Chain A
Amino acid sequence: AALKDRLRSQVSAALKEGRVTPTELCQRCLALIKSTKFLNAYITVAEETALKQAEESEERYKRGQPLGILDGIPIAVKDNFNTAGIETTCASNMLKGYISPYNATVVQKLLDQGAVLLGKTNLDEFAMGSGSTDGVFGPVRNPWSYSKQYKEKSVPKSHSEDEESNWVITGGSSGGSAAAVSSFTCFAALGSDTGGSTRNPAAHCGVVGLKPTYGLISRHGLIPLVNSMDVPGILTRCVDDAAVLLGSLAGHDPKDSTTIQDDFKPFELPNLTDVSKLSIGIPKEYHVPGLSSEILAIWSKAAELFKNAGAKVVEVSLPHTRYSIVCYHVLCTAEVASNMARFDGLEYGHRSDMKDSTESMYAATRREGFNDVVRGRILSGNYFLLKQNYENYFVKAQKVRRLIANDFVKVFRSGVDILLTPTTLSDAAPYMEFIQEDNRTRSAQDDILTQAANMAGLPAINVPTALSERGLPVGLQFIGRSFQEKQLLTVAKWFEKQVQFPVIQLEEVKRHDSGVFQHQKSASFS
């Protein structure tokens, strides 16, 4: 019975057989977006263009000529990807009103395959943060805050307390994308991942969050944060869907010279039944202080699961783990200081009325356009890049980066295939609690488990695993070898099947429920 619930309703097949039309699908998603507006997952809903894309898709299905498996599938895109003709804000005053003149390569690829772009999702300003709480359009609310599972477990402190003050964060910075996928308003969403920004909200929102190997997917059109670590991220409701998205996005892009030139072959995931040849590594340094006992237990249980199924499960060591977050802090702020220099008000974005001089105009524009978090990182980055600090901080961090990357190389060379770690320290925090600490402190705490994979450029995925005692999602992270996404996703898919993560029970979705969404709560289109 549990398996039946997880069975994906081939939406693609449904579209192909005419059981549902792309416009119907699009309209239902748009309606659901409207009724879940309180989540604040979307900054821009591109209703007109989405319906037009859906109509064009319908024409193709009528002619029996769909572009592929993604034709007619509604998707959402994080608002730090350029989308032609649609506002791209990065949740910042600096880019409010900025209409991109071009599509990011990943967006273009999705559109070329007939995907329907529903809108742009909310994030922390310029993707800096781990809560999706620091953007100018306000915080994103975790759909699980409104789930039956969470409500059953929460004890109201007083009569006046209601959902309004109890809601939990999505995590970040791709919180809007995670919330959109989690609340069924789209079938997949693009996020970005620099220190965990796709995997962290995926864990808190109970969805699959894939960070591909650095260099596999084009960053052209993704407004850059840290050029040496950024990657586009994929958020879906099941691992198979992540593989489908990966297949349509990966590959060399002449417009992004940091993409590898090797041919990429999209793959279908095999149904792994025998894990006896698998070696799973459990890095002991990931047992960090601050890791909740609940997550520790879930992590241990997962390791047991693999062991009982015949896999080899070994403890491994990544000795420089505890310096990873410090290293990230220096390299990230340094690259950010450089990347944010382009925002001067001249060619695009916000421009101050200050006219006295170019420099004073730049200074005023940036003063008005950036929030505290962004400004803080720019100033820190500039400090580490000062001539007197360059060797001691920036170059030092680059050396430590090599040590961190080498830790992984050594472990994978010793015969380990995949690493299994927690994704977050605990389940999602209530918003009121989360904002008690400042952004930098939070990021330093929350990124600890995810960002070493960005340091080393390795692929990593969050797989929703179980519900916490508060009824909120907890996910576990798998880290794989460079460019071995097929192996990583195969193992993730096996694990997903074993844990049978429950479907979110949301009132809003039930109301919109109809043939389209039946058997499809953990829906996919593959």
Chain B
Amino acid sequence: QKVSVEVLDHLEHLALVDFRDAEGVERLQKAIQFADQLHEVNTDGVEPMDSVLEDRWCLYLREDDVTEGNCTKELLENAREKVEEYFVAPPGNIPLPKLEERETFLQGS
């Protein structure tokens, strides 16, 4: 059962990472095949486990007090593009080009 080009394209959009070549696609196929072994296990009546510490209730909410901050300068130091105290991004709300118009290995498929 091969993954369709539509799903592969969808994954590239979601992950914002590309299948560089046939090997990349093959890698996913193998990963799915490997994961399918899970279906051999009977999990009727079993609750999913989020954390091994579920019995200890350690995830807590703390008081809404400001305990640290004022580190704008340090935080901006690692950004490449900035203006005053802003991180600068290219224009947003422009979706990635469609499969036919994009530079992707999947185009040939």
Contacts and interface: CB of A to CB of B under 8 A. Distances in A.
A344 B17 CA distance: 11
Interface string B66-84: 0000010011011111000
B2 interface: no
A346 interface: yes
B20 A398 contact: no
Contacts of A257: 58-60, 62
A402 B34 contact: no
B50 A440 contact: no
Contact of B53 (A258, A330, A402): A258
B53 to A, nearest CB: 5
A258 B31 contact: no
A359 B15 CA distance: 11
A486 interface: no
A433 B17 CA distance: 30
B22 interface: no
A376 B50 contact: no
B52 A360 contact: no
A393 B56 CA distance: 27
B52 A357 contact: no
A521 B50 CA distance: 43
A472 B91 CA distance: 56
Given A326-B37, A379-B11, A345 B80 contact: yes
Contacts of A378: 15, 17
A382 B14 contact: yes
Nearest to A100: B78
A357 B92 contact: yes
Interface centre among B20, B43, B71, B90 (most CB of A within 10 A): B90
Interface string A364-381: 001100101001101110
B98 interface: no
A359 B16 contact: yes
Contacts of A361: 89-90
Contacts of B47: 399, 402
B91 A357 contact: yes
Nearest to A360: B96
A44 to B, nearest CB: 16
A392 interface: yes
B17 A363 contact: yes
Contacts of B37: 323, 326
A383 B74 contact: no
Q: Please report whether the interface of chain A is mostly helix, strand, loop or mixed according to DSSP.
A: helix
What is the size category of the interface that chain A forms with chain B?
35 or more
Contact of A395 (B48, B62, B91): B48
Contact of A330 (B18, B24, B35, B91): B35
Contacts of B10: 386
B46 A403 contact: yes
B89 A346 contact: yes
A348 B76 CA distance: 8
B43 A329 contact: no
Contact of A358 (B28, B39, B89): B89
Contacts of B80: 345, 351
Given A215-B56, A347-B79, A101 B74 contact: yes
Contact of B51 (A98, A228, A397): A228
Contact of B34 (A326, A355, A375, A401): A326
B57 to A, nearest CB: 9
B95 A359 contact: yes
A456 interface: yes
Given A214-B53, A329-B34, A356 B90 contact: yes
A355 B39 contact: no
Contacts of A392: 39
Contact of B35 (A260, A370, A384): A384
B38 A330 contact: yes
B59 to A, nearest CB: 6
A101 B77 CA distance: 9
Given A333-B31, A440-B30, A444-B34, A349 B78 contact: yes
B43 A382 contact: no
Contact of A228 (B23, B50, B96): B50
B91 A358 contact: yes
A356 B102 CA distance: 13
A358 B35 contact: no
Contacts of B31: 329, 333, 376, 380, 383, 440
7 contacts: A101-B74, A214-B53, A347-B75, A347-B87, A366-B16, A384-B35, A401-B49
Interface of B: 3, 7, 10-12, 14-20, 23-24, 27-28, 30-32, 34-35, 37-41, 43, 46-53, 56, 58-60, 62, 71, 74-75, 77-81, 87, 89-92, 94-97
Given A215-B53, A348-B78, 19 more contacts: A228-B52, A254-B62, A257-B60, A323-B38, A347-B79, A356-B91, A357-B96, A360-B97, A363-B12, A370-B17, A378-B17, A379-B12, A379-B17, A392-B39, A393-B38, A396-B39, A399-B47, A438-B27, A440-B27
When A and B form their complex, which 3 residue pairs have the shortest distance between CB atoms, in order from nearest?
Answer: A457-B52, A398-B48, A357-B94
